[in-house]
Structure 1
Amino acid sequence: MDLAYETKYHELEEQHWWFQSRRDVVFSLIQDLHLSKEAAILEVGCSGGPLQQRLRNEGYSNLTGIDLSESAIALAQQRQIPNVQLMDGARLDFTDASFDVVVASDVLEHIEDEQQALREWLRVLRPGGQLLVFVPAFNLLWSEHDVVNHHFRRYSGEELRTALTRAGLKVKRLSYWNSTLFLPAAAVRLLQRFRATPKNLPSGDLQTLPGSMNGALLALLRFENRLLRHVNLPVGISTFALAQKSA
């Protein structure tokens, strides 16, 4: 992503409603796997480490985080998060069958060679290991936010399923996330396409919001996250899949 945008990203990732609610649902999905607290978990794209912190606080002891951003890893190290390192998510420096779970939240869309990344994630999973992957949904929602984040693509659910299956993974669960805000977001994106093209550089969606608004949006998404414990959602701003390596 653009360097100026990355700075804002790191400033907001701990308290912003989007990051908090997505971190909540990722954490919930990991808990639902009923792993041993010693299970080996790799987070690809760990950023400044807030998910690593939460997992460690809940007793998970065998955690590894990687990120391609030097500033992200430096921030994680400043937060005294152990076992984080600079590494390309599509070219992992780990031996085969090293991890029980690989988590990649909003990473795959940043990698040009999608299959290279998925094959690497499959390679480092142990037999029966699981991959949890979140990606932005629907080309309909493509915007300046994708440009500034250096995205190569957005995914429908079936496109994500096809990519995972092609890489040799078995999809166990597929759903959308952030259905609550899908219609407003789609309306905004369509309106943006009809406006005059701005001459300034593209900007992303991250904005600092008043505490009350941030809290209201967080509560809204946390309610949806509770629903996701029981049902898959048919539409959303993101899509996610839980996939498994053959045992």
Structure 2
Amino acid sequence: MEPAEYDLMDAAEERMWWYRALHARVMDALARRPGPAGSVLDAGCGTGGLLRRLAALGRPLVGLDFNPAAARRAAAKSGARTVAGDANRLPFAEGAFAALTSCDVLCHRAVDPTAALAEFRRVLVPGGTLLVNLPAYEWMHSAHDERVHNARRFTASSARAMLESAGFGTVEARYWNAMLLPLMILERKVLRSDAAHDSSDVRPFPPWLDATLHGVTAAERALARLGLRYPAGGSILLVATRP
């Protein structure tokens, strides 16, 4: 990502509605499918917001990010061990982790999804849990994608097929951020010009607006926990098992 985007992430991820909603869904998914006992790797940990949330699991944590400065920030924020490295060539031994999270990484221009998923599978123990978050729909590509170097977006079916082709089993793919999708379309495709390619979706929101948006995601999450599944959404959360 652009260096400035790491600064925005570091400042926003503790409070901004989208990060809070994502982290809550990751924690829900790991509660449902924790995998065997053992260490958890956050591959593409950024500046450590998710690692800080994962500490509540009481499991050994490791973070990896391509940007060394971001990895250092993540260590300071979370207290986890972090390393600088490439998701395409993970610097860890085979079977080193019982679970692996990777949020909005396989969409990145510098990441080869086939190579990265092969590495994710390699470093997971048999029975280990893989949790991946991805942005949805190529037609939703925007200036923010350009800024964070996203090269691809997915559908639930294409993302599920990608994980299955990589050798993962029991793949579950769920759209989320469904209730706010119409607003995302309006904001990204109608109201905002992408001509300058300099706009980020990560920014301070007025407190009332941030609270409102988070309230919508919390209501959606509560309904999902009751069993409601959404046919579309701004993001896709996938959970799978390494056979």
Common fold by TM > 0.5: yes
1:41–1:100: 8 Å Cα contact kept in structure 2? yes
Residue 14 of structure 2: aligned partner: 14
Post-superposition offset of 1:192: 5.5
Post-superposition offset of 1:80: 5.7
Residue identity opposite 2:88 in structure 1: A
Residue 40 of structure 1: aligned partner: 39
Residue identity opposite 1:6 in structure 2: Y
Does residue 1:24 correspond to 2:20, yes or no? no
Does residue 1:242 correspond to 2:239, yes or no? yes
Residue 103 of structure 2: aligned partner: 105
Residue identity opposite 1:205 in structure 2: D
Residue 166 of structure 1: aligned partner: 165
Give the alignment of 1:65-84 within 5 angstroms.
Answer: 65-79=63-77, 81-84=79-82
> 182-191 or 209-218, which moves further after superposition?
182-191
Note the alpha carbon deviations across 1:18-71, whole angstroms, 9 max, x for none. Answer: 1111111111111122556x5221111112222222222x24232111111222
Post-superposition offset of 1:79: 2.8
**Match for residue 215 of structure 2 among 207, 213, 219:** 219
Post-superposition offset of 1:171: 3.9
Does residue 1:61 correspond to 2:59, yes or no? yes
1:49–1:81: 8 Å Cα contact kept in structure 2? no
Q: Percent identity?
A: 29
Residue identity opposite 1:233 in structure 2: Y
Note the alpha carbon deviations across 1:196-239, whole angstroms, 9 max, x for none. Answer: x63x4422212211112111111211121222222332100001
2:35–2:99: 8 Å Cα contact kept in structure 1? no
Residue 89 of structure 2: aligned partner: 91
2:40–2:99: 8 Å Cα contact kept in structure 1? yes
Residues 1:59 and 1:175: Cα distance change in structure 2 (over 3 Å)? closer
Give the alignment of 1:174-213 within 5 angstroms.
Answer: 174-191=173-190, 198=195, 200-213=196-209
2:35–2:128: 8 Å Cα contact kept in structure 1? no
Post-superposition offset of 1:11: 1.1
Post-superposition offset of 1:180: 0.9
Residue identity opposite 1:17 in structure 2: W
Post-superposition offset of 1:91: 0.8
C-alpha distance in structure 2 between counterparts of 1:59 and 1:206, whole Å: 27
Residue 137 of structure 2: aligned partner: 138
Runs of at least 5 residues in structure 2 that lack an aligned partner in the other structure: none
Post-superposition offset of 1:75: 1.2
Residue 3 of structure 2: aligned partner: 3
Q: For 1:175, what is the secondary structure of its paired residue? A: strand
1:174–1:232: 8 Å Cα contact kept in structure 2? no
C-alpha distance in structure 2 between counterparts of 1:206 and 1:131, whole Å: 26
Residues 1:240 and 1:41: Cα distance change in structure 2 (over 3 Å)? same
C-alpha distance in structure 2 between counterparts of 1:65 and 1:34, whole Å: 18
